[in-house]
């Protein structure tokens, strides 16, 4: 009895203590913004992303990237001021809708969609229904924007990456026999894989091995690698995220198999992975919209490293670009913060379909009426631990 009570009390105390912490942090962070809010001069910007759970690295990167952009814009003064709020969705559609709804209660005027594809499809249906304009930094599936006039993407759509990868492999004559290892319970990987196969056939590339894995079997790749090796593949295409890719590189090295490896934008971040021998990534080629080692991105990268202690990945850069794209569009439209989300939505659709945007993740970007972006991708090779543009 006593024990239970003391446990309960201890629990309550811990809860209040932690709640105190959380509250203080929030207050400290948004202190500057609140004064602006009082003046009625801020645009309320909201997004959901996995801030906890297995995909937390993407959500937090996007949140931090957007935060830097917002801080910069607010510090510089000017007519356009932002207040940013991110809600946790654990990369789950149900939680994302709930997070979106709480952002709506908060008074969000412009949405940053969701960070990952599946949740973003769910929130996009909601933003479409509620007429809130949304620009997602990184949800890349085609279903995200399909049939919605007010949903735009900052990243490439998945099929586009498959086409681009096949094109650059054939243009640079990188390989004659290609193996693919992809994750077949993942929208992102499946989307790229399917169009890559189609495009590779059209380009006359020979695919000798096509093997899959799932979330549950993403630890051992010996079967897939042996299949590729025995069929004599000299290039392995990896349309997957960098954590499983790092295991593939390690296991290929252990079995003495050294083909060329070619990744897509999910590969970005492999050099910052803890406990990964980055020398294994030497010679790895990848498609990426963002090169942290590029001179023109130096300012952002330094700021990010200083504030969050790590090199930003493309998710951070995409989210940073989103905020600046909003700024550009709002300025051009002459929008004021007292406008409703619905009014802004109409203006933003008009602006985004007509403007050209230069950002960290590519210059001269334009959007079609379907919400998909077109910009030039960069193919980089990892040499001596840095990205070198091919």
Partner 1 sequence: MLQKFKKYAVSRRGRDSLLCFGIVLIAYIAVQAAIAGGALSSQMKGLLVPICAYVVMAISLNLTVGILGELSLGHAGFMSVGAFAGIVATTALAETIPSAPLRLAAAMLVGGLCAAVAGVLVGVPVLRLKGDYLAIVTLAFGEIIKNIVNVIYIGMDGRGLHFSLVTQNFTLEEGGKMIISGPIGVSGVKTLSTFTSGVVLILITVFFVLNLINSRAGRAIMSVRDNKIAADSIGISVTRYKLLAFVISAAFAGMAGTLYAMNFSTVTAAKFDFNTSILILVFVVLGGLGNIWGSIIAAALLTLLPELLREVGDYRMLIYAILLIGMMLFNNSKLKRRLMEQRSLKQMEKLEQAADGKEGA
Cα distance between residue 389 and residue 376, in whole Å = 13
CA angle 177, 247, 171 (to 5 degrees): 30
- Say if CB 262 and CB 165 are below 8 A apart: yes
Segment lying near partner 1 (by CB under 8 A), choices 91-99, 283-291, 305-313, 321-329: 91-99
Cα distance between residue 89 and residue 93, in whole Å = 7
State both tokens at 321. 């670009």
* One of 33, 71, 83, 88 touching partner 1 (CB under 8 A): 88
CB of 29: closest distance to partner 1 in angstroms?
A: 10
Taking CB under 8 A as the rule, does residue 211 contact partner 1? no
CB of 247: closest distance to partner 1 in angstroms?
A: 20
Measured CA distances, 203 to 134, 165, 186, 259 (Å): 36, 11, 26, 21
CB of 15: closest distance to partner 1 in angstroms?
A: 6
Instruction: Give the residue with the Cβ less far from partner 1, 122 or 378.
Output: 122
Cα distance between residue 337 and residue 316, in whole Å = 25
* One of 51, 84, 165, 205 touching partner 1 (CB under 8 A): 51
Instruction: Give the residue with the Cβ less far from partner 1, 186 or 265.
Output: 186
Cα distance between residue 113 and residue 124, in whole Å = 7
DSSP 3-state assignment of 101? helix
Of 140-159, binders to partner 1 (CB under 8 A) are: 141, 143, 146-147
Taking CB under 8 A as the rule, does residue 277 contact partner 1? no
Distance of CA 363 to the CA centre of its chain: 18
Of 94-133, binders to partner 1 (CB under 8 A) are: 94, 97-102, 104-105, 118, 121-122, 125
Instruction: Give the residue with the Cβ less far from partner 1, 227 or 358.
Output: 227
Taking CB under 8 A as the rule, does residue 187 contact partner 1? yes
Taking CB under 8 A as the rule, does residue 27 contact partner 1? no
Segment lying near partner 1 (by CB under 8 A), choices 72-80, 183-191, 238-246, 333-341: 183-191
Taking CB under 8 A as the rule, does residue 93 contact partner 1? yes
Q: What is the DSSP-derived secondary structure letter of residue 144?
A: H
Taking CB under 8 A as the rule, does residue 71 contact partner 1? no
Instruction: Give the residue with the Cβ less far from partner 1, 78 or 147.
Output: 147
Taking CB under 8 A as the rule, does residue 5 contact partner 1? yes
E strand map for 200-336: 206-213, 235-238, 260-263, 285-288
CA angle 89, 93, 95 (to 5 degrees): 40
* One of 25, 176, 354, 356 touching partner 1 (CB under 8 A): 25
Mention every residue, 6+ apart, whose C-beta is less than 8 A from residue 251: 220, 221, 222, 225
Q: Is 204 left (phi over 0), alpha (psi -120 to 50) or beta?
A: left
Taking CB under 8 A as the rule, does residue 7 contact partner 1? yes
Of 296-315, binders to partner 1 (CB under 8 A) are: none
Cα distance between residue 288 and residue 388, in whole Å = 11
Nearest to 137 by CA among 288, 315, 325: 315
CB of 359: closest distance to partner 1 in angstroms?
A: 28
Segment lying near partner 1 (by CB under 8 A), choices 185-193, 326-334, 343-351, 379-387: 185-193
Site size with partner 1, rule: CB under 8 A: 46
Beta-bridge partner residues of 152: 135
Helix/strand number for the chain, H first, E second: 12, 15
Q: Is the dihedral of CA 329, 84, 55, 151 positive or negative?
A: negative
Taking CB under 8 A as the rule, does residue 190 contact partner 1? yes
Taking CB under 8 A as the rule, does residue 318 contact partner 1? no
Contacting positions for partner 1 (CB under 8 A):
1, 4-5, 7-8, 11, 14-15, 18-19, 21-23, 25-26, 51-52, 87-88, 92-94, 97-102, 104-105, 118, 121-122, 125, 141, 143, 146-147, 184-187, 190-191, 214-215
């Amino acid at each position: 009895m006593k024990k239970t009570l003391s446990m309960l009390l201890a629990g309550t105390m811990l809860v209040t203590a932690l709640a105190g912490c959380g509250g203080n942090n929030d207050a400290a962070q948004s202190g500057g913004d609140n004064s602006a809010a009082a003046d009625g001069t801020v645009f309320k910007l909201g997004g959901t992303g996995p801030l906890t759970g297995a995909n937390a690295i993407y959500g937090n990167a996007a949140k931090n990237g957007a935060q830097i952009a917002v801080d910069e814009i607010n510090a510089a003064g000017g007519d356009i001021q932002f207040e940013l709020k991110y809600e946790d969705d654990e990369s789950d559609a149900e939680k994302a809708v709930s997070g979106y709804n709480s952002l709506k209660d908060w008074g969000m005027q412009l949405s940053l969609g969701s960070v990952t594809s599946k949740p973003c499809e769910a929130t996009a249906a909601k933003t479409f229904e509620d007429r809130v304009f949304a620009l997602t930094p990184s949800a890349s599936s085609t279903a995200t924007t399909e049939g919605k006039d007010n949903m735009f993407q900052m990243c490439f759509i998945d099929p586009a990456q498959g086409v681009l990868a096949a094109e650059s492999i054939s243009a640079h004559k990188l390989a004659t026999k290609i193996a693919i290892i992809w994750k077949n319970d993942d929208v992102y990987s499946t989307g790229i894989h399917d169009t890559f196969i189609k495009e590779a056939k059209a380009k006359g590339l020979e695919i000798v091995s096509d093997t899959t894995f799932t979330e549950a079997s993403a630890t051992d790749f010996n079967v897939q690698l042996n299949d590729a090796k025995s069929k004599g593949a000299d290039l392995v295409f990896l349309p997957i995220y960098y954590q499983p890719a790092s295991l593939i590189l390690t296991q290929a090295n252990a079995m003495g198999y050294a083909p060329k490896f070619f990744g897509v934008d999910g590969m970005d971040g492999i050099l910052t992975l803890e406990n990964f021998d980055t020398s294994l990534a030497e010679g790895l080629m990848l498609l990426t919209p963002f090169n942290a080692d590029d001179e023109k991105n130096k300012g952002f990268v330094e700021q990010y490293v200083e504030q969050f202690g790590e090199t930003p990945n493309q998710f951070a850069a995409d989210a940073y670009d989103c905020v600046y794209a909003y700024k550009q569009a709002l300025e051009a439209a002459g929008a004021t913060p007292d406008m409703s989300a619905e009014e802004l939505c109409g203006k933003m659709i008009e602006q985004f379909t007509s403007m050209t945007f230069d950002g960290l993740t590519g210059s001269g970007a334009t959007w079609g009426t379907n919400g998909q972006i077109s910009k030039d991708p960069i193919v980089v090779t990892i040499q001596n631990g840095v990205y070198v543009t091919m």
